């Protein structure tokens, strides 16, 4: 794939002219991007074909990562980096009078996911290719991604995100690989001459699933894997059956929009249709592939691993059963063995409201044959387990109960592996949330702590840091992330520490520039940048951050000369459109920003920046500029978190509760390089058990906190009469579900320590350095190698 700069320039000019019939100099940024994207795609396509041909020829075992969400971010620079031609192309573009970064920004960032779960899937796709594993992604090609967030008068407004408005240069439509997905219909059985039952499934509503494939380029290893996203269309030749506008709309609707819910699900018919649609299409294309190998069915799990990312693709289990039973004529026991050995499942949350449950009647109407199979799985499960584990425990693990189908139960029973996403999270699953299943299937449970790809989150997002690392410790860390620990040897090297400070300052200036241009806000790059970027959710406790800001505000109002570190508080967060409380919090933060940013008495000692439309691209701008990483969820609630790892890799110091992967971050970085506060998970559990928590009491007894909380209702913050009251009530009158009041004092104390540490530049730079140097183990390359080794049983290509 290598290029020489001159060759690249010629090819670029030619590609552009062929596409647009004029010179590149006259093109828009979007056109310049499209030409470059086309050229790049052309460059890797040989390796793409080659990779897939080799897998097929060698009959390599392949993993299929089924995920309802993928958040790849802009792909141009990541493809260039992984192809090993980033520098060459950058130079070539420059010689052509173009700025690669500017051209790259013309790419639309595909927001086909909500947050951590979708981004994890994309980090994994990059790591699967980069570690040389035979793997594929399987998901949905949503016509509209996650909504575009706007603030109007401080309120979140959602606008449609039409990410396909320009041509998507990376995808390839594969009409010849389309499959039919069937909904509804009537099921009956007839007996064959040989006595076998035959299933007749007729009068179905048939939808065409058309795949769009996108290359997943491995890091300098010639491997190019495939991400397949399915789009719903009317079957060819079947137009007559979809004669009305409404019928056609119904088909299109299936892959029209991403559900904008994170850790929360909406019990809607359309959502199940989406889930079955891409699960069925994926399983069908896998079976079609396997049949071409002409192997015995019992070898299916030796050639195929299907991984389901949370419960959203769980219908892959009964779908595989259906195909093996009804279409391929296997017995139940054969089909069940194959299915269980093939499928593995990741759990991403213990929040009850995020546990998918569908009304039985809905599945029965929408997927009558799948429903029968689920019933049979459930019946056999109960028959087999009740004598062994007793009626009570067994019934608690039933898939169908009280007219509902529990997807997690189906996922656990129908798979051979269940993993959590951080040590603490897996411990909670085993000891509590999924304990009944653990009793039955202890061998299925395992932990796979999440990871991130430093290729995107350091090499692409933070070029300054990358250059500084290359200079200081060489370049091995790029292919072996653990090697970054060599940096620890420089912890007392003043010159290195100063350089690191300069890198951070440059990144902070870049963000300050953005704030000035896009938000008309002046911020001081020398202030401490305090960052909380993640979906807005009560358990993540953005509000605790707010209480801290208000406390500082009061101190500065009382005494403008008080010795407080100048800080810029940066927020990025979308709220699910139906999540009223989260939207109230957004309004509150914006109102406080207005108040404080414009209060001359505060004299810029506090600035609040709430960026609009937070997503992967903005994360790449903010993370390198962060000094403090806020990871302050109530202990036990955040399964893992991944922004904690990205921020750490970029030298931010974590302010954290002992929740999710924060625990492992602390273990790696050491107590002196992190700020830990708040209740521990067991203490939270204990409160839940004994029910003695009383937030009203804390409010009454803590005058400092009381004063802060009263700001919400005393008119100090203009424009939030209703929001302030509701939020105040949730915390004080309705017993503060997430224990903010309980954690307030220790949070404030930890923030003071951070101020003190920051004022000693050498100390702070050393902390930053130690965070970077300890971030290697959180590479998704290692995470994915553990999945490959322990769950999927596949090995990197040699
Ligand atoms: C998220 C979890 O909330 C987060 O803690 C985790 O880091 C991420 O998944 C990746 O594992 N929807 N989003 C999540 O869980 C669900 C369900």
Residues 761-791 have pLDDT tens digits of 999 999 999 999 999 999 999 999 999 999 9
Q: How confident is the model at residue 267 (pLDDT cuts 50, 70, 90)?
A: confident
d(CA 117, ligand 1 centre) in Å: 5
Residue 124 CA to ligand 1 center (angstroms) comes to 14
Among residues 329, 322, 328, 284, which one has the least CA distance to residue 306? Answer: 284
Question: What percentage of the chain carries pLDDT values higher than 70?
Answer: 100
What pLDDT was estimated at residue 242? 84
- What would the mean pLDDT of 267-279 be, rounded to a whole number? 94
**Domain spanning 59-74+109-141+162-450+783-792: which superfamily?**
Glycogen Phosphorylase B; (3.40.50.2000)
**348 assigned to active site:** yes
Task: Examine the residue annotation and report whether 701 is marked as an active-site residue of this protein.
Answer: no
Q: Is the CB of 428 under 6 A from ligand 1?
A: no
User: Strand pairing partners for 138?
Assistant: 66, 228
Is residue 421 within 8 A of residue 92, CB to CB? The reply is: no
pLDDT at 1: 58
Q: Is the CB of 450 under 6 A from ligand 1?
A: yes
Identify whether 15 is a catalytic site residue: no
Note the pLDDT of residue 266: 78
Mean pLDDT of all residues in 657-668: 98
- Of 449, 403, 399, 400, whose CA–CA distance to 424 is shortest? 449
Q: Is the CB of 354 under 6 A from ligand 1?
A: yes
pLDDT at 575 over 70: yes
Distance (Å, whole) CA 319 – CA 182: 11
Q: Is the pLDDT of residue 380 over 90?
A: yes
Task: Express each pLDDT in 301-340 by its tens digit.
Answer: 999 999 999 999 999 999 999 999 999 999 999 999 999 9
- Region 10-14: what's the mean pLDDT? 98
Which of 639, 663, 787 has most ligand 1 atoms within 8 Å of its beta carbon, as the pocket-test mutant?
639
Average confidence score pLDDT of the chain: 97
The reply to whether ligand 1 has any atom less than 6 angstroms from the CB of 310 is yes
Q: Answer whether 335 contacts ligand 1 (Cβ < 6 A).
A: no
> Residue 684 C-alpha to ligand 1 middle, in angstroms?
20
- DSSP assignment letter at 29: H
Which among 535, 548, 567, 607 is annotated as catalytic?
535
Q: Confidence class of residue 197 from pLDDT cuts 50, 70 and 90?
A: confident
Check residue 247 and give its pLDDT: 86
CATH homologous superfamily of 454-679+739-778: Glycogen Phosphorylase B; (3.40.50.2000)
Tell me the C-alpha distance between 574 and 477, whole Å. 34
User: 467 C-alpha vs ligand 1 centroid, how far in Å?
Assistant: 32
In this prediction, residues 448-469 reach a mean pLDDT of 98
Task: Please state, in angstroms and rounded to a whole number, the distance separating the CA atoms of residues 111 and 71.
Answer: 6
Which candidate in 90, 141, 312, 348 is catalytic?
A: 348
Atom of ligand 1 nearest to the CA of 119: 10
Centre a 10 Å sphere on the Cβ of residue 671 and count the other Cβ atoms it contains. 9
Domain regions of the chain by residue span? 1-58+75-108, 59-74+109-141+162-450+783-792, 454-679+739-778
Q: Decide whether any atom of ligand 1 lies within 6 Å of the 551 Cβ.
A: no
| pLDDT bucket at 693, cuts 50 / 70 / 90 | very high
Domains 59-74+109-141+162-450+783-792 and 454-679+739-778 share a fold: yes
The response to whether residue 624 sits with its C-beta less than 6 Å from ligand 1 reads: no
What are 498-533's pLDDT values in tens digits? 999 999 999 999 999 999 999 999 999 999 999 999
Residue 265 pLDDT: 78
Q: Is 668 exposed, middle or buried (0-12, 13-18, 19+ CB in 10 A)?
A: buried
Active-site residue identified among 74, 228, 425, 646: 646
pLDDT digits (tens, 9 = 90+) for 384-423: 999 999 999 999 999 999 999 999 999 999 999 999 999 9
Measured CA to CA in angstroms, residue 208 lies from 213, 295, 368 at distances of 16, 28, 19
Active site residue 61: no
Residue 384 annotated to the active site: no
| Ligand 1, atom 4: closest residue by C-alpha | 641
pLDDT in tens, 616-641: 999 999 999 999 999 999 999 999 99
Indicate which atom in ligand 1 lies nearest the CA of residue 425. Answer: 5
488: number of Cβ within 10 Å: 13
Task: Write down the ipTM of this complex.
Answer: 0.98
The fraction of the chain above a pLDDT of 90, given in percent, is: 95
pLDDT at 104: 98
Q: Whose CA is nearest to atom 9 of ligand 1?
A: 117
Q: Which two tokens stand for residue 234?
A: 């009317």
CA angle 641, 742, 584 (to 5 degrees): 65
Place 797 in a pLDDT band, splitting at 50, 70 and 90.
confident
């Amino acid at each position: 794939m290598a290029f020489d700069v001159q060759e690249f320039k010629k090819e670029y000019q030619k590609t552009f002219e062929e596409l647009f019939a004029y010179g590149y100099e006259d093109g828009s940024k979007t056109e310049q991007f499209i030409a470059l994207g086309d050229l790049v795609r052309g460059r890797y396509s040989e390796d793409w074909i080659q990779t897939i041909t080799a897998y097929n020829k060698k009959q390599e075992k392949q993993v299929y990562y089924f995920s309802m969400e993928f958040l790849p971010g802009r792909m141009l620079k990541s493809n260039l980096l992984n192809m090993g031609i980033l520098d060459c192309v950058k130079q070539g573009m420059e010689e052509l009078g173009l700025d690669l970064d500017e051209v790259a920004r013309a790419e639309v960032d595909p927001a086909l996911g909500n947050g951590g779960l979708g981004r994890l899937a994309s980090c994994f796709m990059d790591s699967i290719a980069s570690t040389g594993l035979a793997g594929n992604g399987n998901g949905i090609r949503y016509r509209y991604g996650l909504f575009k967030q706007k603030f109007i008068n401080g309120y979140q407004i959602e606008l449609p995100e039409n990410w396909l408005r320009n041509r998507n240069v990376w995808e390839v439509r594969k009409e010849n690989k389309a499959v039919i997905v069937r909904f509804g219909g009537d099921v009956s059985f007839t007996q064959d001459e040989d006595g076998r039952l035959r299933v007749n499934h007729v009068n179905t509503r048939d939808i065409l699933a058309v795949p769009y494939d996108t290359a997943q380029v491995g890091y300098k290893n010639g491997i190019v894997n495939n991400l397949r996203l399915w789009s719903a269309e009317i079957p060819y030749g079947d137009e007559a059956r979809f004669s009305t506008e409404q019928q056609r709309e119904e088909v299109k609707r299936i892959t029209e929009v991403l559900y904008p819910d994170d850790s929360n699900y909406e019990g809607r018919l359309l959502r199940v249709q989406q889930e079955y649609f891409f699960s069925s299409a994926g399983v069908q294309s896998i079976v079609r592939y396997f049949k071409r190998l002409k192997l015995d069915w019992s070898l299916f799990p030796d050639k195929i691993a299907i991984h389901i990312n949370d419960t959203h693709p769980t219908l892959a289990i009964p779908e595989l059963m259906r195909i093996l039973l009804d279409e391929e004529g296997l017995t139940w026991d054969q089909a069940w063995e194959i299915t269980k050995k093939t499928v593995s499942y990741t759990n991403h949350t213990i929040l009850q409201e995020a546990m998918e449950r569908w009304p039985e009647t809905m599945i029965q109407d929408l997927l009558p044959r799948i429903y029968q199979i689920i019933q049979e799985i459930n019946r056999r499960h109960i028959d087999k387990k009740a004598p062994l584990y007793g009626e009570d425990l067994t019934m608690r693990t039933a898939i169908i109960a009280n007219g509902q189908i529990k997807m997690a139960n189906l996922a656990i029973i129908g798979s051979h592996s269940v993993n959590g996403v951080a040590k603490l999270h897996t411990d909670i699953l085993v000891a509590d949330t999924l304990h009944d299943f653990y009793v039955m299937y202890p061998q299925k449970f395992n932990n796979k702590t999440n990871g991130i790809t430093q290729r995107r989150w350091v090499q692409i997002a933070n070029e300054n840091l990358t250059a500084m690392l290359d200079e200081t410790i060489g370049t091995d860390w790029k292919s072996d992330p653990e090697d970054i620990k060599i940096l620890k040897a420089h912890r007392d090297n003043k010159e290195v520490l100063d350089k690191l400070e300069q890198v951070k300052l440059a990144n902070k200036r870049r963000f300050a520039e953005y704030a000035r241009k896009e938000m008309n806000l002046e911020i001081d790059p020398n202030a401490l940048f305090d960052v909380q970027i993640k979906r807005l959710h009560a358990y993540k406790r953005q509000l605790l951050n707010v209480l801290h800001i208000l406390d500082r505000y009061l101190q500065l109002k009382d005494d403008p000369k008080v010795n407080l570190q100048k800080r810029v508080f940066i927020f990025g967060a979308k709220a699910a459109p139906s999540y009223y409380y989260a939207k109230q919090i957004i309004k509150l933060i914006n109102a406080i920003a207005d108040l404080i940013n414009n209060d001359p008495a505060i004299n810029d000692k506090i600035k609040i920046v709430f960026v609009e439309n937070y997503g992967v691209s903005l994360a790449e701008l903010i993370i390198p500029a962060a000094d403090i990483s806020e990871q302050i969820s109530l202990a036990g609630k955040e399964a893992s978190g991944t922004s904690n790892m990205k921020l750490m890799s970029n030298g931010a110091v974590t302010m954290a509760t002992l929740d999710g992967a924060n625990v492992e971050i602390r273990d790696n970085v050491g107590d002196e390089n992190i700020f830990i506060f708040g209740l521990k998970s067991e203490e939270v559990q204990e409160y839940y058990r004994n029910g003695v928590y009383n937030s009203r009491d804390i409010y009454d007894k803590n005058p400092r906190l009381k004063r802060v909380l009263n700001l919400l209702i005393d008119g100090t913050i203009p424009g939030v009469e209703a929001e302030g009251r509701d939020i105040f009530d949730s915390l004080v009158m309705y017993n503060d579900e997430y224990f903010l009041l309980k954690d307030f004092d220790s949070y404030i104390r930890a923030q003071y320590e951070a101020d003190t540490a920051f004022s000693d530049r050498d100390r702070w730079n050393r902390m930053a350095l130690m965070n970077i140097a300890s971030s290697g183990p959180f590479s998704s390359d290692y995470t994915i190698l553990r999945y490959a080794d322990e769950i999927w049983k596949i090995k990197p290509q040699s």
